[in-house]
Amino acid sequence: MNLEDLLFYNEYEQFYLMSKGSNAFKHFCEKAFGRDFSQDGFSDVSQVDRILPYIPKKNEVHILDIGCGNGKMLGYLQQKTNAFIHGFDYSENAINTARELFKGKSDFRQGCIGEIDYPEEKFDVIVSMDTMYFAPNMSVFVDQIMKWLKKDGFFIAFYQEGDVMPKTQNETTSVLAKLLLEKNISFDCIDITKESYELLLKKREVAISLEKEFEEEGNRDWFDMLVAQTDYCIKSYEEYSKEMARYIYVINKANSMRETE
């Protein structure tokens, strides 16, 4: 597969190069998200903390992050739980940084959704934070994730509607939810649309406060892009929520297997 043909490949290479060298972006992440994970997603540290209760408290815990970027979110989860961290991303720049930053109990691989594979029943927790959208075939990818999970493992998907994915009626009608339902995979879902809207407002305010710092670094283009990404919140929440939604889906493989037996 030619990586450059994949959606946003070159943009992400540039993004992870910028995030490595930019103090303004580091400050943006710290102030907007409460922690610098070089987020290109929409998750602040309080959303990431929602993963922690699903990580078992035992020796030899394995977590996989799909589209892990430079691994900083996984590094945080490791710091909190001492888990072995695994991540893959198609961005070479991201994976090189992850390998530099996190050397112990870690396995970072450059690879594409749809091509990369792991052994069956390897992981206690698999996280997909704003990455399901990039699967060439989401149905096949869900099957693969379920295969990679241990029998009692959890799959946690942070999932946005209204930009890459179409806005549908509610959390049971999204492309991901429909696939899970078709496959008899039961899920819990938390609707975080309201808090995402509030986070967007905060991102806008923080980005604008750092304009000079971005400018002085020569990163004016990234500043403009960050602000443009928050244009959605110029409208009221009522208007915003007609077009956008954000959910956290939690799948417990043990429950799904019981229901299909």
Stretch that binds ligand SAM, among 21-29, 33-41, 97-105, 241-249 (CB under 6 A): 33-41
Q: How far is the CB of 28 from ligand SAM (least distance, A)?
A: 13
d(CA 192, CA 60): 31
Total residue count of the chain as it appears in this document: 261
d(CA 184, CA 197): 31
Q: How far is the CB of 151 from ligand SAM (least distance, A)?
A: 26
d(CA 69, CA 99): 11
- Classified as helix, coil or strand, 129 is strand
Query: Of these, 22, 39, 174, 256, which contacts ligand SAM (CB under 6 A)?
Result: 39
171 binds ligand SAM (CB under 6 A): no
- Which of 91, 153, 94, 93 minimizes the C-alpha distance to 118? 153
d(CA 39, CA 37): 5
* 217-246: contacts with ligand SAM (CB under 6 A): none
Give whichever of 7 and 181 is closer to ligand SAM, judged by the CB atom. Answer: 7
Q: How far is the CB of 260 from ligand SAM (least distance, A)?
A: 28
25 binds ligand SAM (CB under 6 A): no
Query: Of these, 19, 41, 126, 249, which contacts ligand SAM (CB under 6 A)?
Result: 41
Q: How far is the CB of 215 from ligand SAM (least distance, A)?
A: 24
- Which of 64, 61, 191, 175 minimizes the C-alpha distance to 129? 64
Give whichever of 18 and 256 is closer to ligand SAM, judged by the CB atom. Answer: 18
44 binds ligand SAM (CB under 6 A): no
Q: Total number of residues binding ligand SAM (CB under 6 A)?
A: 18
Q: How far is the CB of 32 from ligand SAM (least distance, A)?
A: 12
Cα dihedral 224, 213, 93, 121, rounded to 10, equals: -80
67 binds ligand SAM (CB under 6 A): yes
d(CA 54, CA 251): 10
- Assess contact for 251 and 155: CB atoms under 8 A: yes
The tokens describing 210, both together, are 């750092």
Rounded alpha-carbon distances, angstroms, from residue 90 to 36, 74, 131, 164, 231: 21, 16, 11, 18, 28
Query: Of these, 22, 43, 174, 252, which contacts ligand SAM (CB under 6 A)?
Result: 43
Q: How far is the CB of 183 from ligand SAM (least distance, A)?
A: 21
36 binds ligand SAM (CB under 6 A): no
141 binds ligand SAM (CB under 6 A): no
Cα 51 versus chain centre, distance: 12
Query: Of these, 78, 91, 97, 174, which contacts ligand SAM (CB under 6 A)?
Result: 91
Amino acid identity for residue 203 in this structure: K
- Classified as helix, coil or strand, 243 is helix
**Residues engaged in binding ligand SAM (CB under 6 A):** 6, 12, 39-41, 43, 67, 69, 89-91, 94, 112-113, 129-131, 134
